[in-house]
Structure 1
């Protein structure tokens, strides 16, 4: 990837492209420097959140208490008191989760995957009737907050987004892709509240206070971020100028402060405005030209429009192909109609039927044909699973070609002259490509693919029954397919196992749809509510198990951090210094354990910690041969207090008394030698190496970490630091583990399985080596719903199909 941020003049007109003459300069931006800047911005954002979030939360609890005191019934009052107690109890955890969500936004920004939906984008269309009222109220509250904040902080936000664009390879930033925009803060709070059992009225109170105590003071953060980026010489002379009749500002460098000048005249700006309007006229035009823009508000609808246009385009190309001798029908097992029929021409169920004798099936007749096929699919799947009551078992996949062939054969069996309109064949083609994509999805386990393949016929039916099926991203049928696919990826493994009986639930849902779906599309909404209720409960259980594993791992990591710090303190005093065996053993084993205890109990700023470290210095000094009377007197005064301190340390950690006395006697003997100006014999090199290796491993240093780190390994370790929580790794044998937490001090990654159980705390270096050796890989995945990913794939497939047809026509 090119790591250069190009600074361009901005005309101030939405969508206008900057002319080449307006380019300022190209500033080299290394990967390391970009990460450094983003990490500092992330830390500033997190620091701001830690400052303002506690006050907001306390005010919220206080407000709930006031509402409770004015409650009209004891029941309402008790409920509010319980909520207030809950919020008090989880404040610290909520604060940490809130800040973590904001920090993750910078990781997504770095990976170019940050695209947080604004309020009004969450729900639209007829699906609103299925959305819970509480979700809608919450969305309205967030929309109101973000709109006000975007307008109030317009100048600061605009400047920040211009500077962040330089850290994004020069690509434009908006509120959805700006990790510090108001919508990111609202989204972080929404995620925190999702995990709390709080009613919508209480949430609305919280959002009002959040608007006042957090969003209202975002100007402080934007000043800090802009000031920092200015100090890094990122657009230091940027000015904010509001263009006439446009809400977007103009970026302008002060001429007296820099070598750049602005040469755009008013006529040029007007021309750019016209170009912008032409450029933005139809999203589908942009899609057809290859300029995919996932930030379009109507992206999925525009994508579908583009697919429809491509289907028509492909159909129009067919006469030239047919003139060169190409013929075929679906009944013969060929491609769908868009590949085998000229524009507006029906496709016959049997080959070589004269056009005058064709009897075209209407939508109702096609639904009748599909009804019979659906019954056959149900009986076929039931027969395949007759001997298997549970578990992900292999059943035959219902291929797209099989469904198409069965449909045309069914029509032919009813009417030898039966035919299907080209427009209806496009719908059949589109549903077929949807299921082709599903069957080719590498992330979906084969057992789930086989089950979902039997939904091909019901989805063909609904495409004819409900014309808005493809046009509505929130259509219950589409959302149900998204949920089934997501659950399959998340809880069913490629080795045939599943978690929480998810496979059984998917199977039950598929069979109910096959058995019960006639012409009433409400069955999809009913199954969607039922299936999502089940998976939401599973997700909560998984999250609870994962949270418990995380708490345990964090405790273990805290101990490991202490041991690493202790090992560092001891080794900094013993390395490059000859040591008797007994003293080396004392420092690396019992005294290191005592230091760990003191560090965890009292901290590294305590007097106890200072005394324990000073004991090492005093002990080592007392073993050095004394040549002056003054040093001998000092040592005599030191010996008894030092022995007493060592004894108390051994007792504190429960060190075995016999071993402790033996070590203390050895210390006394060595100190007598020092008073006689004699030097003790150092530990043999093999013994010393073994003791130091054991101490290092006990502190958390693996033997692999002691080996030299290659440039490639260091690069991967550095990139792993930007990995977002929730990222999945796939290891040899198909086992998948998720990154649930990362300890930046020890550089350990907590990996959990699909049930949320901790599997390991893996060192970043070991992960890097596994990736290089091919033993592990990051599963790319996507935050987009299955259906949207499928439409994108269909669009590209049709593009390739059109190109192939053009090539065939020319040849």
Structure 2
């Protein structure tokens, strides 16, 4: 979906009132569902918190308050829309902005809490959207001048949107903890929506003739100017990896930042960065390139390049280094062509870099550039190698299906162009191209398209990759809009994945409780039948109805220990009744059976027998005990048949069979595994040798086992710390994995470079 408006005149200014009404319409369309869309995710978060706390924390007050909020959802949505609409009226000066003297009054505690929460949220949003807000403020000023009204507050600025949310819920009785959750989810939704909304509104104002003056970039400090100009402010003619080799291995700009560079700087750094962050990024990039150069020097030329005319074969003096703009022109020419060559290269580890070079040189020939007379510069070689290693790592270390290979192959050349013009993509975690690749990987990893939702994700990711190929021309806004669209769909799917995590945790916990209850019942039965001579009727009763009754009391009445004690006492009383019958103590036996009648009937009823069948079973038991000469012997009970659970065979083989002593493991490594917390990520190699990311979703309060799920919330493994240590020793488990696919891929790239140079 394009973010550009249609039917807006560009030659002359459009009527300012019509423009303001269009901004109002688009804003209400994007924001109008709030705050009603928050209640469902907040409810899911409360359920997850209750599950993780295992009943130790009472969330009843929050759940009750949330239930009341959901009853008034329509009212809250209408009130919020009215608040947003009122902000546009204030901007048009239709309301009196100052009422003269302000009456002083006391602020109640609840309003004070809302104001504090609003202030924190407003600061976070202003910092995140600083650049588009500066541009929007300038263009709204031009719009206000055209309407001949004094400039008011930005009607869709963070301050007004946060105030609208606070005013909407001000009269509701919301506990402090629930208020915090609501503000956090509101912030998440605003971040998801505002980036695309501000881009569309800025574009609308600009194309309607209200461009205003672009805000001047802040002057960087002198000691960091080189990194800001060369690494964070690339231009099509002075790319991040092109030009003269300087201290960072990048382009040293001969003069101040150009206008084009400043514009790219605004797109790349949507939030202000501190000097420490910039210095850290410069150091990280410098270290990465040093690793890359050391790795390239350690690899034979035929393996690292595999082609004549490589940028590293500079023995021929006549060969010149191609400029970045020439490489960009070649890449743009090839970008729309079928990505079959890249798809085949992704299927063979280490071939992608060679394929990219062959492809670019072939394109250079078609543009009239003779590869025998021109070669890639060292910085261009860096960009090609890093993109090749990145995509190869993404495809090797994520559970991606064959369909995803062509999707990723389609993105290879656009990301080569990004790396040539803006190498901050490798070190800046908020880079739009980086975030888009994370979202695409999240949509594709482990997705085999079995459900309609999964197929929708795959189709949308494919569509977005095609759009990047068609629209990307050194403007990172394409990545921002594409990420916003895909992330909006993923946000809906993440709620489904969270529910799947909860169901997986509940199912695992239920199986563990059942297993523990059966184990206790087996032990109790063995204590009473292992060495005791019993009649067949009593032994059968204890082995079947009574053992089942003990399991039921443990599962259903786990908190009420009295019920379990009564069930155990029934088993002891039946053994005693059998002994009384053997000793021909008829009166005591009769009294015993009469006293046990209610408990025996209840025991039989728990096995599904109605009152008539229970009475019949009791009668059979009495008949067997009235004859003292009935045969008695030790009757060990057969193990209770256990129904197979729904775990896979590969997973069952990893579970402990007879205790931790049956698994050989490193105790120190097992201690590290015990330190894993819910939300930590690991990398797990399954029985088929495929690597995939897995998250610790739950830790069992009964067995301390860890439940690992994939990015789609589906169970991957349930194992103890000792089993995880054994997997880590065998190289099938790696702890400390990054949360996002791009970060993990870059970590794997660094490890690959270190292994290639023998530094690790």
Please report the TM-score for the alignment, with normalisation by the length of structure 2. 0.54
Asked if residue 369 in structure 1 is aligned to residue 333 in structure 2, the reply is no
Greater shift, 510-519 or 554-563, is seen at 554-563
Task: Give 2:286's aligned residue.
Answer: 305
Q: Write the mapping of 1:31-430 to structure 2, written as runs, cut at 5 A.
A: 75=79, 129=131, 193=181, 198=186, 301-309=282-290, 333=307, 337=311, 339-341=312-314, 352=316, 354-355=317-318, 358=319, 360-377=321-338, 399-413=352-366, 414-416=368-370, 417-430=373-386
Counterpart for residue 100 of structure 2: none
Aligned to 2:546: 591
Match of 2:536 in 1: 581
Give the secondary-structure state (helix, strand or coil) at the position aligned to 2:579: coil
Q: Does 1:694 align with 2:645?
A: no
CA drift at 1:612: 3.1
- Secondary structure of 1:623's match? helix
| Aligned partners of 1:591 and 1:649 also within 8 Å | yes
Q: Are the aligned partners of 1:599 and 1:609 in contact in 2 as well (CA < 8 Å)?
A: yes
Q: Which of residues 622, 645, 649 is equivalent to 2:603? A: 649
CA gap of 1:728–1:126, structure 2 versus 1, over 3 A, is closer
Compared CA separation, residues 507 and 362, structure 1 to 2 (3 A): same
CA distance in 1, matches of 2:506, 2:321: 65
User: Distance in 2 between the 1:800 and 1:607 partners?
Assistant: 62
Give, in whole Å, the separation in 2 of the partners of 1:201 and 1:436. 33
* Structure 2 match to 1:671: 625
After superposition, the C-alpha distances for 1:286-332 in whole angstroms (9 at most, x for unaligned) are: xxxxxxxxxx97765432111334567789x89xx9xxxx9999997
Whether the aligned pair in 2 keeps the contact of 1:437 and 1:790 (CA below 8 Å) is yes
* Aligned-partner Cα distance in 2 for 1:75–1:728: 47
Do the aligned partners of 1:499 and 1:755 also contact (CA within 8 Å) in 2?
no
- Report SS of the residue matched to 1:367: helix
Q: Name the counterpart of 1:681.
A: 632
The counterpart of 1:485, out of the listed 411, 418, 441, is: 441
Structure 2 CA distance, aligned partners of 1:768 and 1:415?
A: 55
CA contact (8 A) 2:285 2:427 kept: yes
Deviation of 1:524 after TM superposition, in Å, equals 0.9
**Contact 1:713–1:768 under 8 Å retained in 2:** no
Cα distance in 2 for partners of 1:314, 1:749 equals 38
- Aligned CA distance change for structure 1 residues 542 and 602 (closer, same or farther; 3 Å): closer
In 2: Cα distance, 1:566 partner to 1:442 partner: 44
Q: Please tell me whether the aligned partners of residues 713 and 765 of structure 1 are also in contact (alpha carbons under 8 angstroms).
A: no
CA distance in 1, matches of 2:445, 2:687: 17
Counterpart of 2:483 in structure 1 is 528
Q: Report the CA distance between 1:399 and its aligned residue.
A: 2.8
In the TM superposition, residue 367 of structure 1 has moved relative to its aligned partner by 1.5
Matched ranges for 1:697-736 at <5 A:
711-713=661-663, 715=665, 731-733=686-688
Note the alpha carbon deviations across 1:347-378, whole angstroms, 9 max, x for none: xxxxx5x52xx565433222112111213346
| Counterpart residue number, 1:83 | none
Distance verdict in 2 for CA 1:501–1:614, change over 3 Å: same
Alignment partners' CA distance in 1, 2:302 and 2:517: 73
Contact in 2 for aligned 1:443/1:781 (Cα 8 Å): no
Matches within 5 A, 1:481-560: 481-492=437-448, 499-551=454-506, 554-555=509-510, 557-560=512-515
| Conserved 8 A contact 2:705-2:720 | yes
Q: CA offsets per residue over residues 633-684 of structure 1, 9 Å max, x none?
A: 543422222234313432454327787566534532443345xxx5742255
SS in 1 for 2:337: helix
CA distance in 2, matches of 1:671, 1:575: 20
Return the offset for 1:502: 3.6
After superposition, the C-alpha distances for 1:371-413 in whole angstroms (9 at most, x for unaligned) are 11213346x689x99xxxxxxx999998321221222233344
1:194 to partner: Cα distance: 8.8
Change (3 A) 1:72 1:711: closer
State the aligned residue count: 535
CA distances 1:493-519 after superposition (whole Å, capped 9, x unpaired): 9x9999444433332222221122123
Q: Which segment drifts farther, 393-402 or 765-774?
A: 765-774
Q: Following the alignment from structure 2 to structure 1, what is the Cα–Cα distance between the partners of residues 293 and 303? A: 18
After TM superposition, give the deviation of residue 539 of structure 1 in Å.
2.0
Return the alpha-carbon distance in structure 1 between the equivalents of residues 376 and 353 of structure 2.
17
Q: Distance in 2 between matches of 1:574 and 1:73?
A: 66
Which consecutive unaligned segments of at least 5 residues does structure 2 have? 1-49, 84-120, 134-155, 163-176, 192-247, 249-275, 647-651
Q: Report SS of the residue matched to 2:283.
A: helix
8 A contact 2:532–2:634 mirrored in 1: no
Q: Distance in 1 between matches of 2:77 and 2:539?
A: 71
Structure 2 counterparts to residues 613-624 of structure 1, below 5 A? 613-624=568-579
1:747-766 mapped onto 2 (5 Å cutoff): 756=713
Q: Secondary structure at the match of 2:533?
A: coil
Question: Does structure 2 retain, via aligned residues, the 8 Å contact 1:580–1:680?
Answer: yes
Tell me if the contact between 2:399 and 2:446 (Cα under 8 Å) persists in the aligned partners. no
Q: Does the CA contact (< 8 Å) of 2:322 and 2:376 recur in 1?
A: yes
Structure 1, residues 693-749: CA drift from partner, whole Å, max 9, x if none?
12677999x999997568342759977766665767655457889775454436777
Structure 1 pair 713/577, CA: closer, same or farther in 2 (3 Å)? farther
TM-aligned CA deviation for residue 584 of structure 1: 1.7
> Which residue matches 1:157?
none
Q: Secondary structure at the match of 1:402?
A: helix
State the 1:586 CA deviation.
Answer: 0.7
1:477 Cα deviation after fit:
0.9
**Aligned partners of 1:799, 1:772: CA distance in 2, in Å?**
20
CA deviation after TM superposition for structure 1 residue 541, in Å: 1.9
Where does 1:733-752 land on structure 2 (aligned, <5 Å)?
Answer: 733=688, 740-741=697-698, 743-745=700-702
CA distance in 2, matches of 1:436, 1:743: 36
- Alignment match, 1:456: 412
